[in-house]
Amino acid sequence: MRDDIKEFNAVEAVAWKFIEAVKNGKSEIVKPYFYEKAVFFGQLNEETYQSGDIQEFYNTIDKMGPVGEDYIARVDVLALEKTIAVVRVIEDNWHGYKFTDVLNLNKINGEWKIVAKVYDTLTQN
């Protein structure tokens, strides 16, 4: 049986907070939506770039700052099963890159939290 649509909306709302944070270059916007021990791994220009504690991701957002007017993003909720969800975030024009992020979420104490972020990038052409 499919989960209630309000759960899909709640998961999507977390992803939009992620987008708001990277768009504005302010990690504090998204920190409440990440699990405190969240991890990330990503590829930049087909090379392994970073992995580890989510604080490194926060540092990157804050260091890079806000994006330009040409930044666009979309959210796709790919899967939702009781207490787990998978979301794809596609971004264009983030400081010269096209990003695809996959966010894994768990419902912890009634709240959706990002527990892992995996990404890949392409240089804008």
Q: Distance between CA atoms of 34 and 121, rounded to whole angstroms?
A: 21
Give me the sheet containing 111-123, strands edge to edge. Answer: 47-53, 34-44, 111-123, 97-108, 84-94, 72-81
Over residues 74-87, mean pLDDT: 96
Task: Identify which of 28, 88, 92, 36 has the alpha carbon closest to the alpha carbon of residue 62.
Answer: 28
Average pLDDT on 41-45 reads: 79
- Locate tokens 């971004």: which residue? 91
pLDDT given for residue 122 in this prediction:
73
SS3 call for 91: strand
Whether the full predicted model's pTM is greater than 0.85, yes or no, is yes
The stretch 89-104 carries a mean pLDDT of 94
Residue 29 pLDDT more than 70? yes
Average pLDDT in the chain:
91
Report percent pLDDT > 90 for the chain: 78
